[in-house]
Homo-oligomer: A and B are copies of this chain.
Amino acid sequence: MDATVPPPHSGAGVEDGDRQPTRIQALNREIILEAALEVFSVHGFRGSTVDQIAAHAAMSKPNLLYYFRRKQDIYRAVLERTLRDWLVPLAAIDPAGDPVEELRRYITEKLRMVAEKPAASRLFANEILAGAPVMGDFLETTLKELVDEKAGIILEWVRRGQLAPVDPHHLIFMIWATTQHYADFDVQIRAVMGERVDRPGFREQAAQAVLTLVLNGLKPRPVA
């Protein structure tokens, strides 16, 4: 409708040039992303409103949009930022290490992350439930490559008899499922467990259960 005129907003906003962000910019972006994580992780993209995020960030809506021009931009930013951290523990699996030990470390680390930032886990869950409209590419490229690599390592361990014979991909899925479950289904767990969830030691107890089941199932057994 308007090809003759430069797009609006070209003289404003924060994402314009490539200038270094000022201190207040960095701070506010941080605040916004934190707030957005909180909101998006509960209601998903479509169910969340910019108003909610602005309220969480204690910021006026237009000011929030001064930092991220579109709701999508905020969403993408939170998602990407969290994605960066998310794969670190998996990537750290060392083919030269002891199989069971490596897996134990991976699971433990993952549980720690999930306990520390359950909202991040829920954000992913929501995105994937919605069909991964934004994260789709990432899943099919970066994630797939990493998983395939690590699956290869696990397969090798199995071949060498260092692990019970298990399909490595499914093993990885199971670790994801069990570790993230404590964040994603937190409400359900609280409903069932009641106050026990907040007692000290609950996290350790959960970790113990996950490790016991997964690792015991993996340890090569004497032929019986």
Chain A residues packing against B (C-beta within 8 Å)? 1-6, 8-12, 39, 41-49, 51-52, 54-55, 59-61, 72, 122, 125-126, 128-134, 136, 139-140, 143-144, 147-148, 164, 166-167, 169-171, 173-174, 176-178, 180-182, 184-185, 187-189, 191-194, 205-206, 208-210, 212-218, 221-222, 224
Given pairs A12-B61, A41-B129, 18 additional interface contacts (CB within 8 A): A1-B133, A43-B46, A43-B47, A44-B126, A44-B129, A44-B130, A45-B47, A46-B46, A125-B125, A147-B192, A166-B213, A173-B185, A173-B209, A176-B185, A177-B178, A213-B214, A215-B217, A222-B224
Copies in the complex: 4
Pairwise interchain contact A212-B45, C-beta atoms closer than 8 A:
no
Pairwise interchain contact B188-A139, C-beta atoms closer than 8 A:
yes
Chain B nearest CB, measured from A139 CB (Å): 4
Query: Quick one: given A47-B47, A170-B209, A176-B181, are A164 and B133 in contact (CB under 8 Å)?
Result: no
Pairwise interchain contact B212-A166, C-beta atoms closer than 8 A:
yes
Query: Quick one: given A52-B8, A173-B181, are A131 and B206 in contact (CB under 8 Å)?
Result: no
Pairwise interchain contact A125-B129, C-beta atoms closer than 8 A:
yes
The docked-state distance in angstroms from the alpha carbon of A191 to that of B8 is: 26
The docked-state distance in angstroms from the alpha carbon of A139 to that of B136 is: 32
Interface of A is mostly: helix
Nearest B residue (CB) for A211 = B217
Chain B nearest CB, measured from A31 CB (Å): 14
Contacts of A42 in B (CB 8 A): 4-5, 129-131
